[in-house]
Structure 1
Amino acid sequence: MGMNRYFRLLIFLFFTVVLFSCGAGKMGRDALLSHEIGEYYKAIEKYRKASRKEKDRVKRREYAYAIAECYHYIGDYERAALYYRNAIRRGYGDPAALLDLAEMLRSAQDYEEAIETYRMYLDTIPGDERARAGLEAIRKTQEWVANPSRHIVNPIKEINSRESDYAPVFVGGRDNEVIFTSSRKASTGKKESMITGQDYTDLFRATFSIQRQKWEQPQLLDENFVINTGEEEGAATLSPTGEQMIFTRCRYDKSQALGAELYSTSQSRGSWSDPIKVQVVGDSLIAAHPALSYDGSELYFVSDMPGGFGGKDIWKAEKVGGAYANPVNLGEAINTPGDEMFPFSRDNGELYFSSNYHMGMGGLDIFRAVKNDDGTWTVENMGYPVNSPSDDFGIAYVEGENKGMFTSNRKGSRGDDLYEFVVPPKIFRVDGEVFDKETGNRIDGANVRIIGTDGTSLRLRTQDGKFQMKLQPETEYIFAAFKDGYLRDKASANTIGLEDSKDFRFELFLTPTDAPIKLDNINYEFGSWELLPQSKSSLDTLVATLMLNPTITIEIMSHTDHVGSDQFNFELSQKRAQSVVDYLIEKGISPQRLVAKGYGETWPKAVTRDQARQYDFLKRGDELTEEFILKLTEEQQETARAINRRTEFRVLSTDFIERFDAEPER
């Protein structure tokens, strides 16, 4: 993240006055002039030569700071940190050098020293927003790395060279042909750039071989010197068909930079027409990094012309009568006091760009901007692994797909390299099993009804009690399993808001209706029919069962143990059964579906398989009569009596239809 451009200019002017007033030599003056016009690589060499011959410690300190600034501008953050540290150690007095050093350390991933340096700066300039933002950026970087996006990122080894390769754009929106900028040895511009120290850049084309499943060796886009010339060409944009191209050209006159300009050309039968300058800004102003909107009605570009927010800004010009005119700044949501560059307009209307000022991981980060209904922009960092602590920029998407390329000089790169990325499709799948709740066996041939909020309405039949299906994103599903002779069961799956693929696994248990079904945890006050509070949550499960099975009628069956008189037990069990029925009616269950029946001690429990597993003194099928219980130990007797004290229900019919009494005539 750069300092405010105006503030940097003040420092530069002060530096110029100091050197000239002190009678600095010709090398120092030449270095200043190269620095001023943006020839950073050339300026670094001149500053070094001047510093080696300079005996004045103050001037050498200023040279060290100037070299740090130049390395900062060309994105060599580790060397920039080295020279900022050198200048500070020599007594460079402006506290802004501490902030610059902290920023470089952050980009070099030396977070511990970066945090310490930010805090030293804040001790001098308390509350400074840039320093506070830098500390927050370190925290956010660690958060992004710990929670990466779903992008899979890899370098494109067949395309990348030892020199700079950057700013890809797909031809015709397809993924098998790309045009990009490179300073590789095959470029026609053999002059050394005074900005980067590499050869001038040209536009290259690479195609993907389907048979070989790899990228072919890149070739010059134009070998007839129509587009690629002795100047620097690069950073292009194409119309959706690939027939029109607007690209950047940097011209020089006697080794002096004349600035970046935009040129337009069209292709017919494989040949490009003579480029025509796009008059989108004044002759003395810089325009670079073009990006056409999908319909070609808008041209985004980068400029530092007046009316911006500082540094380089992204502007937009509308197509009027075949030309692009009336450029407007994209505003403070996009542009900052730093540099915003390399815009890309996706076919879905999203705008992508790189910035060294918005909250990021360091250097240039790639951001996504979405236009809201009111015309404002919402901007978000693309996070890790698209972004890194180094420079990440020049992204391009394949038309209609979630994949593409971008540029990065992250660790492992040989400079600016091209990286490919893809966001794998989110796959949601459900694997379900349907079981007999009593036996634990899977039920073959059970029916499963699936209803989704996207309009899905399906029926599946289990095979060996299993079923599978794929689910759609951003959808909520209900699965209901049913079969004659069983109560239904259901489960749900929700893919709304899920960022990653997911497998849903659940088990559905169908309860047989040919035997009474115990209601667990139905408890009453001692000797009373008053339901205890914890019983009501269990009864709510029964309410859900009745709603899921709307055609059944049931009998609520209450049982007691053998303690007490027969009459008392009958009356108590009847009142307890009625208490359950009353609660179900309160919850909206029709009284026509409910029968309350108290059995007292007349229906001893037959031990189930689960109960036999739980109690080693019981066997499956044992009937817990009074005679059987009295043969047990005292502790075992209490357990057996507790099993007999139960509330159950059984299905009486499965063809219930709600009856509504007709309103009487008046």
Structure 2
Amino acid sequence: MKQVKLAVFGVIIIFLSGCGSARYGRDATLSQDIGEYYKAIEKYRKARKKEKNREKRIEYAYQLAECYRAIGLYDYAAQNYKFAIRLGFDDKEALLHYADMLRITQKYEEAYETYRTYLEAVPGDQRALDGVEAMQKTQEWVANPTRHIINPIKEINSRESDFSPVFVGGRDNEIYFTSSREASTGKKESMITGQKYTDIYRATFGIQRQKWEKPRLLDESMIINTGDEEGAVTLSSSGEEMIFTRCRYDKSEPLGAELYSTSQSRGSWSSPIKLQIVGDSIIAAHPALNPDGTEIYFVSDMPGGQGGKDIWKATVDGGSFGRPVNLGPTVNTSADEMFPFVRDNGDLYFASNGHIGQGGFDLFHAYKNDDGILVVENMGSPMNSPSDDFGIAFVTGENKGMFTSNRKGSRGDDIYSFVVPPKVYQIEIDVFNKETASHLDGSTMRVIGTDGTNMKIRARGGKFKMKLKPETEYVFAAFKDGFLRDKAAVNTIGLEDSKDFRFTMNLTPTDAPIKVDNINYEFGSWELLESSKTALDTLVQILVFNPTITIELMAHTDYVGSEQFNFDLSQKRAQSVVDYLIEKGINPNRLVAKGYGETWPKTVTRKLANQYDFLKRGDELTEEFILKLPEAQQEIARGINRRTEFRVLSTDFIERFDAEPEG
């Protein structure tokens, strides 16, 4: 995160006073101590080149690695840590930092071995354990990405650093952001980054061209943008008041990061006023106002924090500020937490290299759960990458916005757009005639949902389609005169992604007997086998779902045995089924038991004809027909005749509930 540690943070450390390699070394150390990492790198490289002493050269390599790590050049940092370690640098911190750089640059196998080596020397070090966990988590995040869609905004980004966008008035057609591009008014080169001092820029979205217009300086009159560095911005909800970071210099020596306030009237900005939130000797940067402007969040390394740079909060009251409060260890770590942003729903977003993440800085979301406990979550992939991701802002009321990243493909710190597309749920149902296997025209779909949905819709051509609402349960029932109803249930509760539901409903015609499959009895008996009860439970559901029908339970046998025996057996079997249905709560007035023995041979249906190639639709399985078949086929045909069916007798049954007699 090249620009992040730059001007905004390199200036926060208390300054230290300070030929050949020794002079370069002293100058480099001084620059490093005051955060001028780019300048320090130049000096250390010269010092190492001239130095003859082996120990000094190793020390310079290590300090070079530290400087590269500070400005987010992790590949260079890894190379110099490796060099120092190989030459015998004995501080174990170098091994830990080297493992971190290997992890960030996605050399996971080497990183794991380096962490393991470090933990052998420093058992139980939480930083190393977190590094190992971070690699495992990264694989999970990449394998299970969030629904965010991200894209670099090419019209806004330059070859220099562009970062920390904010939306003016919360709208998506205008932003302010920070940049070190060529047009900046600060002509000097930062000793922290090697780039120009940063300024605040404005960009607007062109409706006609449907793209972002070329960014321009927010202020060219040197009121906001000056010869010093202007950085991260926050705006009031109307966009008329602005608080921003300014890093002042005196003869190129940094004086610290401070917050300034200004307001806009008729397109002109007032002279900025320094905010008195912290003491004069303490830095304050990266401001973020909450939606109603009653609280300001900012970054500081003031005493009382968790270590490194922390996020603090102060109340705003008529232009004065209450005592800053540290956000505590749930948000802040011993490393750096920066670039806070408060969304319109009150949730906090920030960047951190202390919480477990994928790379250098990751984006995190802090919110209170249902129990009122503050929870911090990594935003996962693709919002985060092995590089630095920070400076997020949302459009008011929408799940979209912008953030900053120097991930692969960026030219430095670039601004990216993101959007979470709305979850779309849709159901499509094909309604078929179960007998003909063709779409059933003229059927009606009844839809009932827990959100209050209750409607009837014609399924034209046997097809039905509609969009569903999130977090809702639905029941769909298809019906048509002359057919048994069918139903399906779906729900969108807890679904993280869009989903299309597809169902087939088969409506059974009631003008012919309907076979109940898998009804079996003991041989020569009317006792139902236990396995038959699952099929009968399905019949119970049919009767419950079609409450106006009365049916005749029809039991059939084959021709083996006497006619009277078969008739009696089939009647008892039909009654066994009726008795079971009554036990399950079906009104006995809806049921008639009828045994037909061998007198009603089965007529082959389309389904049976498709199942058995020796039968064709319309064949009647009489004794005469069966005896003409080969022996193996005769047994199949007799088995088809041994069946339990039902047919609909009426469709106008009304359940009557008589009042209980008075005592």
TM band (smaller chain): over 0.9
SS state of the match for residue 181, structure 1? strand
CA distance in 2 between counterparts of 1:93 and 1:665 reads 97
Range with greater deviation from structure 2 (505-514 or 320-329): 320-329
CA distance in 2, matches of 1:30, 1:415: 27
Alpha-carbon offset, residue 375 of structure 1:
4.5
Q: Could you say which residue in structure 2 is the equivalent of 1:410? A: 407
Q: Which amino acid aligns with 2:395?
A: V
For residue 608 of structure 2, what is the amino acid of its counterpart? Q
Structure 1: distance between partners of 2:241 and 2:151 = 30
Kindly report which structure 2 residues correspond to 1:561-572, keeping only aligned pairs within 5 A, or say none.
Answer: 561-572=558-569
Q: Is the 8 A contact 2:21 2:47 kept in 1?
A: no
Listed as ranges, the gaps of 5+ residues in structure 2 are 2-12
Alignment CA distance shift 1:639-1:576 (3 Å)? same
* Cα distance in 1 between the residues matched to 2:580 and 2:315: 70
Q: State the Cα RMSD in Å.
A: 1.8
1:329 aligns with 2:323: no
CA shift, 1:451, in A, is 1.2
SS of equivalent residue, structure 1 residue 121: helix
Match of 2:294 in 1: 297
- 2:612 alignment partner AA: Y
User: What is the CA distance between 1:218 and its match in structure 2?
Assistant: 0.6
Shift of 1:374: 5.3
Deviation at 1:323, TM superposition (A): 2.1
Q: Deviations over 1:288-327 (max 9, x none)?
A: 1111111111111111111111111111111123322221
- Corresponding residue of 2:64: 67
Does residue 1:420 correspond to 2:405, yes or no? Answer: no
Greater CA drift, 371-380 or 433-442: 371-380
- State the distance in 2 between where 1:348 and 1:276 align: 29
- 339, 342, 347: which one pairs with 1:342? 339
Aligned residue among 310, 313, 317 for 2:310: 313
Question: Which residue of 11, 33, 36 maps to 1:36?
Answer: 33
Q: Distance in 2 between matches of 1:539 and 1:159?
A: 68
CA contact (8 A) 2:348 2:366 kept: yes
Q: Which amino acid aligns with 1:636?
A: Q
State the shift of 1:578 in Å: 2.1
**Structure 1 equivalent of residue 179 of structure 2:** 182
Query: How far is the alpha carbon of 1:24 from its aligned partner?
Result: 8.3
- The letter for the 1-side match of 2:147 is R
Q: For 1:285, give the aligned amino acid.
A: I
Q: Which amino acid aligns with 2:330?
A: A
Indicate whether 1:605 and 2:602 are aligned.
Answer: yes
User: Who is 2:652 aligned against?
Assistant: 655
Give the Å deviation of 1:386: 0.9
Matches within 5 A, 1:114-129: 114-129=111-126
Out of 315-324 and 291-300, give the one that drifted further.
315-324
Deviations 1:346-398 (A, max 9, x none): 11111110111111111100011112355531111111111100000001111
Q: Secondary structure at the match of 1:486?
A: coil
Opposite residue 450 of structure 1, the aligned amino acid is V
CA distance in 2, matches of 1:150, 1:536: 46
CA distance in 2, matches of 1:134, 1:603: 77
For 1:542, the aligned partner's letter is: L
Partner of 2:504: 507
Equivalence for 1:7: none
Distance (Å, rounded) in 2 between the aligned partners of 1:386 and 1:537: 50
Distance in 2 (alpha carbons) for counterparts of 1:562 and 1:462: 44
Mapped pair 1:214 → 2:211: yes
Distance 1:376 1:663, change over 3 A: closer
The residue identity in structure 2 corresponding to 1:100 is H
The one-character-per-residue Cα deviations of 1:242-288 (angstroms, maximum 9, x if unpaired) are: 00101001111222222111111111110011111111111111111
Q: Distance in 1 between matches of 2:182 and 2:609?
A: 83
Matched, 1:490 2:491: no
Measured in 1, the distance between the counterparts of 2:611 and 2:30 equals 91
Equivalent position SS for 2:460: coil
Match of 2:554 in 1: 557
Residue deviations 1:325-349 (CA, integer Å, cap 9, x gap): 2211111111111111101111111
2:139 to 137, 142, 148: 142
- Residue 384 of structure 1: SS of its match in structure 2? coil
Do the aligned partners of residues 163 and 92 (structure 1) sit closer, same or farther apart at CA in structure 2, a change above 3 Å counting?
same
Q: Distance in 1 between matches of 2:29 and 2:527?
A: 94
Deviations 1:8-54 (A, max 9, x none): xxxxx9xx9xxx9xx98332222222111111111111222222222
Greater alpha carbon shift after TM alignment, 383-392 vs 539-548: 539-548
Task: Describe the superposition over 1:446-504 as per-residue Cα deviations: whole angstroms up to 9, x where unpaired.
Answer: 10011112211221102111121111122221111001111000112222222222222
Task: Confirm or deny that 1:248 pairs with 2:273.
Answer: no
Partners of 2:108 and 2:379 lie apart in 1 by: 21
Aligned partners of 2:390, 2:491: CA distance in 1, in Å?
Answer: 36
SS in 1 for 2:544: helix
The residue type paired with residue 461 of structure 1 is: R
Q: Report the secondary structure of 2:55's partner residue.
A: helix
Alpha-carbon distance in structure 2 between the residues aligned to 1:167 and 1:401: 18
Of 107, 112, 120, 1:110 maps to 107
Partner of 1:446: 443
Larger mean CA deviation between 314-323 and 24-33 belongs to 24-33
Unaligned runs of 5+ in 1: 2-12
- Under a length normalisation based on structure 2, what TM-score does the superposition of the two structures give? 0.95
Question: 1:216 Cα deviation (Å)?
Answer: 0.9
Q: Which amino acid aligns with 2:227?
A: G
Instruction: Describe the SS at the equivalent of 1:585.
Output: helix
Aligned counterpart, 2:277: 280
> Residue type matched to 1:270 in 2?
G
Q: Is the 8 A contact 2:21 2:46 kept in 1?
A: no
Aligned equivalents of 2:372 and 2:647: distance in 1? 63
Superposition deviation, residue 240 in structure 1: 1.1
Structure 1 residue 570 displacement after superposition = 2.2
Partner AA of 2:148 in structure 1:
H
1:627 to 619, 624, 628: 624
AA aligned to 2:427 is V
The 5-angstrom pairing of residues 353-392 of structure 1 reads: 353-372=350-369, 375-392=372-389
Task: Tell me the equivalent position of 1:225.
Answer: 222
Deviation, structure 1 residue 521 = 0.9
Taking a change above 3 Å as real, the CA distance of residues 598 and 86 of structure 1, as seen in their structure-2 partners, is: same
Instruction: Tell me what 1:398 maps to.
Output: 395
Distance 1:518 1:375, change over 3 A: closer
Q: Distance in 1 between matches of 2:565 and 2:312?
A: 90
Question: 2:437, 2:22 → 1: CA distance?
Answer: 94
Distance 2:508 2:600 in 1: 21
Counterparts of 2:276 and 2:588 in 1: how far apart (Å)? 82
CA deviation string 1:76-128 (max 9, x = no partner): 10111011111101101012211100111111112222122112212222332
SS in 2 for 1:25: helix
Q: How does 1:512-523 map to 2 (within 5 A)?
A: 512-523=509-520
1:10 aligned residue: none
Moved more, 255-264 or 582-591: 582-591
Give the partner amino acid of 1:465.
G
Residue type at the aligned position of 2:187: K
- Is it true that 1:76 corresponds to 2:73 in the alignment? yes
Deviations 1:604-643 (A, max 9, x none): 1111111122222222222222222222222121111100
> Using the alignment, how far apart are the partners of 1:374 and 1:426 within structure 2?
26
Measure the CA separation in 2 of the matches of 1:71 and 1:376.
38
Q: Distance in 2 between matches of 1:573 and 1:612?
A: 25
Q: Does 1:173 find its partner at 2:135?
A: no
TM-fit CA distance, 1:214: 1.1
Alignment partners' CA distance in 2, 1:350 and 1:589: 55
Could you report, residue by residue, the CA deviation over 1:513-536 in whole angstroms, capped at 9, with x for unpaired residues? 111100011111211222222222
Aligned length: 648
